[in-house]
Amino acid sequence: MATVGLLSCPLNTLKTQSIARSFSILSLSATRQPLPKSLLVRSVATPAEGVSVFDDMASGTERKYYMLGGKGGVGKTSCAASLAVKFANNGHPTLVVSTDPAHSLSDSFAQDLTGGTLVPVEGPDAPLFALEINPEKAREEFRSATKKNGGTGVKDFMDGMGLGMLAEQLGELKLGELLDTPPPGLDEAIAISKVIQFLESQEYSMFTRIVFDTAPTGHTLRLLSLPDFLDASIGKILKLKQKIASATSAIKSVFGQEEDRPDAADKLERLRERMIKVRELFRDTDSTEFVIVTIPTVMAVSESSRLHASLKKENVPVKSLIVNQILPPISDCKFCAMKRKDQLRALDMIRGDPELSSLTLIQAPLVDVEIRGVPALRFLGDIIWK
Ligand SMILES: Nc1ncnc2c1ncn2[C@@H]1O[C@H](COP(=O)(O)OP(=O)(O)OP(=O)(O)O)[C@@H](O)[C@H]1O
């Protein structure tokens, strides 16, 4: 712990400050209490006095979901992993899931978490498991399950049944395209629906906190509009399926019963049901919270503002905004001082932003080591999640 401190500036001047002083600055800048005017950094919105953001997040044993999202590279994984460690250290059996196709959970925990299954994370007090969903693999599974007997798809199957006309209608629905070149966001939707599948089983009922490290902003936004798209196309497919079902049962009555296999329409129907659950989950204010992570730059703040506007439009509950990687106020490094001025401007921008000013601001400092492994995540978590 004592080896983790503030950013070391290029000239190495900050390193000379004592760790004790660094820690006091760190804990001050991460608080949600108004900071001294001399530091020129204030919280945008402060929760009622005495109410801790983390206590609120950790209270109760019913299952809660936290989704951390924002622009690429701002620290989503570090914040998500540190929150998961903190939940586990507060007695919550926790699962942290990455749905970002470019996973970095393994790097963050300094542990191999690949493989698409739940892997126990060593270190925290209560059970902490991590899961890196491989969206490509999930999609492949989905695609292969829609193929029958060495690659005969639904279309071929229906052709074989003499249902050419229906097959043409199906062609119009571009089912093949849906499976082979899925619309943007499907990867992540499949990943999240897979998590829901996991969580429906008794085996995983122990988890009271689920933390999602989501893919960068664009994916998240597409994911939110995906269920409607799927709803529409799957709805049409299901109508076709009904027609197919009556035709196949007539054929079966002539040729005898065949082993029932799940077909593409069944698979899509289940996907649709799970997508509806994903949609409900994202919008459930009782159990879900989306936390926006950003950094104090004009570009990142602008993107966060747009993200919040879109989340609001989709009725996704958002309460907090983490501004990560804030430079320390005390420095005789000119480079750092210039950077910090820019950061303060970006923080001002947040204060004046109609989308962001209503959120509780959590300020997290830039620390001078890479956040890797449970002890470092615990340290970061204690700074951010108060
Ligand atoms: N407060 C911080 N102080 C110092 N380094 C940090 C801090 N937050 C994050 N980092 C570092 O920044 C890098 C990017 O962080 P992280 O992987 O958490 O971002 P991300 O938003 O998940 O990225 P991506 O969008 O690529 O998944 C990592 O090397 C991480 O250790």
Q: How confident is the model at residue 278 (pLDDT cuts 50, 70, 90)?
A: confident
* Ligand 1 geometric centre to CA of 78 (Å): 6
Higher pLDDT, 241 or 56: 56
Q: What is the pLDDT of residues 83-134, one digit of tens each?
A: 999 999 999 999 999 877 777 899 999 999 988 788 999 999 899 999 988 7
Q: How confident is the model at residue 192 (pLDDT cuts 50, 70, 90)?
A: low
Does ipTM come in above 0.85?
yes
Tell me which residue has its CA closest to atom 26 in ligand 1: 73
Task: Give the pLDDT of residue 185.
Answer: 58
Task: Give the pLDDT of residue 277.
Answer: 78
272 pocket-lining for ligand 1 (C-beta < 6 Å) = no
Average pLDDT over residues 28-54: 46
Task: Give the pLDDT of residue 57.
Answer: 97
Q: How confident is the model at residue 8 (pLDDT cuts 50, 70, 90)?
A: very low
* Ligand 1 geometric centre to CA of 117 (Å): 24
Set out the domains of the chain in order of their start, with CATH numbers: 1-46+287-369 (3.40.50.300)
72 pocket-lining for ligand 1 (C-beta < 6 Å) = yes
Question: Does the pLDDT value for residue 194 go beyond 60?
Answer: yes
Q: Could you tell me the pTM of the whole model? A: 0.76
Residues annotated as catalytic are: 100
Tell me which residue has its CA closest to atom 19 in ligand 1: 75
Exposure string of 271-308, with b = 16+ CB inside 10 Å and e = fewer, is: bbebbebbbebbeeeeebbbbbbbbbbeebbbbbbebb
